[in-house]
């Protein structure tokens, strides 16, 4: 009787196993195979649970690597442009170094030109020339009258004017001219004084040589 029940038991056991078994598949081969637990729900007539069994299911899935990407024409053009730019930058750096060397050589000349202050010097020279020309034109009538004066009077007027505005102190040549004018005036004054003294002596001598008239006539 026990042998007759075994075929029915085997069919029922397979049916239960097919309903309860849930296989778990892993997509990559790096994970170890999973174990599927199969639970037998069939019980024996004695009421004890049937022994359980485990089944191991291994699934190996192979995947092929994608082919390496091919270098496009655009990438080649970009690489070429980058190379040209690097060469251009190297040329510019070389040119800047050469320019700095030239500036260092001419640094002393640039320093001298900056210290000369050419615009200020040119403006000052123009102002002096224009001022002298205007003064000369305005003083033309005075010069006409001045030329009619005696030499001593001319020197005295010039000396007084130079002493008043202190213009002779600006230049060494003007200072020498003022000193020479001063000495010339002193010499003229001395000559004039000697001339006046001589004239006074002559007049005194003439008065002495005149015959005296008797008193009472």
pLDDT in tens, 167-184: 778 788 888 888 888 888
Answer yes or no: is pLDDT of 26 > 50. Answer: no
pLDDT digits (tens, 9 = 90+) for 2-21: 444 445 555 555 555 555 44
CA-based end-to-end distance of the chain: 222
Answer yes or no: is pLDDT of 43 > 70. Answer: no
Query: DSSP letter at 46?
Result: T
- Across the chain, what does the average pLDDT equal? 70
pLDDT digits (tens, 9 = 90+) for 75-116: 888 888 898 899 889 899 988 888 888 877 777 777 777 777
What is the pTM (predicted TM-score) of this model? 0.27
Q: CA-CA-CA-CA torsion for 100, 101, 105, 110, nearest 10 degrees? A: -10
- Give the CA distances from residue 41 to residues 6, 16, 34, 99, in Å, rounded to whole numbers and listed in that order: 16, 7, 22, 96
39 phi and psi, to 5 degrees? -105, 125
Enumerate the domain spans of the chain.
Answer: 73-116, 118-148, 150-210
Answer yes or no: is pLDDT of 145 > 60. Answer: yes
Task: Give the model's confidence band at 62: pLDDT under 50 very low, under 70 low, under 90 confident, else very high.
Answer: low
pLDDT digits (tens, 9 = 90+) for 187-200: 888 888 888 888 88
As a whole number, mean pLDDT of residues 19-44 equals 49
């Amino acid at each position: 009787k026990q042998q007759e029940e075994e075929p029915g038991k085997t069919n029922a056991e397979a049916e239960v196993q097919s309903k309860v078994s849930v296989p778990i598949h892993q997509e990559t081969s790096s994970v170890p195979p999973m174990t599927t637990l199969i639970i037998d729900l069939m019980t024996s007539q004695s009421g004890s649970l049937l022994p359980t069994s485990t089944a191991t299911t291994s699934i190996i899935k192979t995947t092929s690597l994608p082919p390496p990407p091919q270098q496009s024409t655009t990438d080649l053009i970009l690489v070429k442009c980058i190379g040209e730019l690097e060469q251009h930058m190297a040329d510019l750096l070389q040119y800047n170094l050469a320019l700095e060397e030239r500036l260092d050589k001419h640094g002393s000349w640039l320093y001298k030109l900056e210290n000369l202050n050419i615009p200020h010097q040119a403006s000052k020279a123009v102002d002096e020339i224009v001022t002298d020309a205007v003064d000369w034109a305005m003083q033309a009538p005075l010069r006409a009258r001045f030329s009619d004066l005696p030499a001593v009077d001319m020197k005295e007027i010039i000396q007084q004017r130079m002493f008043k505005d202190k213009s002779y102190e600006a230049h060494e040549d003007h200072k020498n001219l003022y000193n020479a004018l001063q000495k010339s005036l002193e010499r003229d004054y001395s000559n004039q004084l000697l001339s006046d003294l001589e004239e006074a002596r002559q007049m005194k001598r003439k008065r002495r040589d005149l015959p005296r008239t008797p008193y009472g006539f």
